[in-house]
């Protein structure tokens, strides 16, 4: 529900907030769980090399794919809000998600070719150094405190 001239109605904002979707951005932090899962697995590899196989089973998922596969009770609302999000906000978010996916996919490919646990551990350590700040940046976009000036975009 949008108001004539743009912006969302107070009712829609309340519905989004109740579902843990930021009403100002239309994005939900639940999607970051997809990347945090990969980070958790990577962090385990140096101490438990057998966890590399668990990381290698991680598959990239788009925002919609994540919610379709999740138990998030407002998944349809999350997908709809994402699709309705301002293109500048969604675009900034998508670039960060694509970078995280690219890093994690490349590290997975490198791990598949690595012959030694020490090499996999180094790859895992480096990947977490690269991906953790991107997760924080994505969280900032979701919460409207990073990159794009949400208030300016939403008033345009």
| Residue among 84, 93, 87, 86 at smallest CA distance from 135 | 93
Q: What is the full per-residue pLDDT of the chain (156 aa) written as tens digits?
A: 444 345 789 999 999 999 999 999 999 999 999 999 999 999 999 999 999 999 999 999 999 999 999 999 999 999 999 999 999 999 999 999 999 999 999 999 999 999 999 999 999 999 999 999 999 999 999 999 855 444 444 444
pTM score over 0.85: yes
- Give the Cα separation of 156 and 154 in Å (integer): 6
């Amino acid at each position: 529900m949008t108001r004539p001239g743009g912006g969302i109605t107070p009712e829609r904002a309340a519905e989004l907030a109740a579902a843990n979707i930021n009403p100002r951005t239309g994005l939900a932090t639940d999607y970051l769980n997809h990347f945090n899962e990969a980070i958790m697995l990577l962090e385990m590899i140096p101490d438990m090399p057998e966890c590399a196989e668990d990381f290698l089973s991680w598959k990239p998922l788009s925002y919609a794919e994540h919610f379709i596969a999740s138990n998030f009770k407002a998944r349809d609302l999350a997908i709809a809000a994402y699709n309705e999000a301002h293109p500048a906000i969604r675009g900034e978010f998508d670039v960060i998600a694509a970078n995280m996916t690219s890093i994690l996919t490349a590290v997975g490919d490198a791990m598949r070719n690595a012959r030694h646990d020490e090499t996999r551990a180094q790859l895992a350590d480096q990947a977490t150094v690269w991906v953790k700040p991107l997760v924080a940046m994505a969280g900032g976009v979701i919460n409207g405190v990073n990159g794009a000036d949400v208030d300016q975009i939403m008033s345009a």
